[in-house]
Structure 1
Amino acid sequence: MRARIVALMAAAAGITAATALPATAVTTAAGSTAETGTVACTTVLNQPCVWHETDGAGIVGVAQVSASPSQLTVVKVEVRTQHAWGSPWVTAASATTYAQGFAKAVTPRVVTEDLRIVCATAGPAQDVAQLVTTCTSPF
């Protein structure tokens, strides 16, 4: 039983580390550049990689997903905010992309001091049951 718990905790830590990566130096759709560094997304088919990028003007949410080149793929990314602890998360910005194979989506810029989280849902566009959702840690 303990071995199962340890294995589950290790898997959860790996998923958390892969989805809560720091902001990076990637040019956003708006043409601005965020903090220096690089995002290292693990290539797992139909598993979204999600992160945020910040600069003095706000944040954007970014998500990408890899898939078979012949697969119609969807990726939806949302920046959600929470005004007060325990209040509901509200979507402040979102973007959705459909593409054959690899897909990437970038939200419009959000300026807020509220608690934020970035979530992405991605996978085969023609099979809703196989879509996967992942989120960053609140920041």
Structure 2
Amino acid sequence: MRARIAALIVAAAGITVATILPASAAATTGDAAGAACTTLVNHPCVWQEKDGGGIVGVAQVSADPAQLTVVQVEVRTQRAWGSPWVTVASATTVTHGFARAVTPRVVTDDLKLVCATGGPALDAAQRVTTCSGPF
């Protein structure tokens, strides 16, 4: 029972950080945004950075150094309100411990969304997906 309560608290904290961080991270550098999210183990942080004429999606996940960890980040676009989101760039990193992935640059005037999935590479049920707010 205590484990379930602890899991709910960690999930709520992850949702709170995912809701707050992308809006504040958009105006910061990747290092500052990345440092702000390293406290949640196995919960990816995601943000966008301006790169030349476009943006790149960045995601990272902290984990135990012995754990095989995966993080995948995607930049999605939406042409018109209500149309489906389309993945236009993605990157995946699999390594032991801390993992970070950066997408190729995307140049578009369409609505954008950056999403990341990360956690233990060997246990898909424990991976968490986080998205920034549309921008």
In the other structure, the counterpart of 1:82 is: 78
Give 3-state SS (helix, strand or coil) of 1:92's partner: strand
Separation in structure 2 between the aligned mates of residue 93 and residue 133 of structure 1, nearest angstrom: 16
Displaced runs of 4 or more, over 4 A:
10-14
Q: Closer, same or farther in 2 for the Cα pair 1:25/1:13, shift >3 Å?
A: closer
Aligned residues: 121
In the other structure, the counterpart of 2:29 is: 25
Task: Give the AA of the match of 2:100.
Answer: K
Separation in structure 2 between the aligned mates of residue 51 and residue 45 of structure 1, nearest angstrom: 17
Task: Give the AA of the match of 1:38.
Answer: A
Separation in structure 2 between the aligned mates of residue 13 and residue 107 of structure 1, nearest angstrom: 24
8 Å contact kept, 2:63–2:69: yes
More divergent stretch after superposition (111-120 vs 56-65) = 56-65
Give 3-state SS (helix, strand or coil) of 1:17's partner: helix
The structural deviation recorded for 1:24 is 2.7
Give 3-state SS (helix, strand or coil) of 2:32's partner: coil
Q: Percent identity?
A: 68
Which stretches in structure 2 are left out of the alignment for 5+ residues?
1-11
Larger C-alpha radius of gyration, 1 or 2?
1
In the other structure, the counterpart of 1:59 is: 55
8 Å contact kept, 1:63–1:77: yes
Q: Closer, same or farther in 2 for the Cα pair 1:25/1:135, shift >3 Å?
A: same
**CA distances 1:58-107 after superposition (whole Å, capped 9, x unpaired):** 00000000000000000000000000000000001000000100000000
* 2:101 is equivalent to residue 98 of structure 1: no
Separation in structure 2 between the aligned mates of residue 18 and residue 95 of structure 1, nearest angstrom: 20
1:124-135 counterparts in 2 under 5 A?
A: 124-135=120-131
* 2:42 is equivalent to residue 46 of structure 1: yes
Q: Closer, same or farther in 2 for the Cα pair 1:75/1:13, shift >3 Å?
A: closer
Q: TM-score, normalised by structure 2?
A: 0.82
**Alpha-carbon RMSD:** 2.0
Give 3-state SS (helix, strand or coil) of 1:73's partner: strand
In the other structure, the counterpart of 2:5 is: none
Separation in structure 1 between the aligned mates of residue 16 and residue 41 of structure 2, nearest angstrom: 19
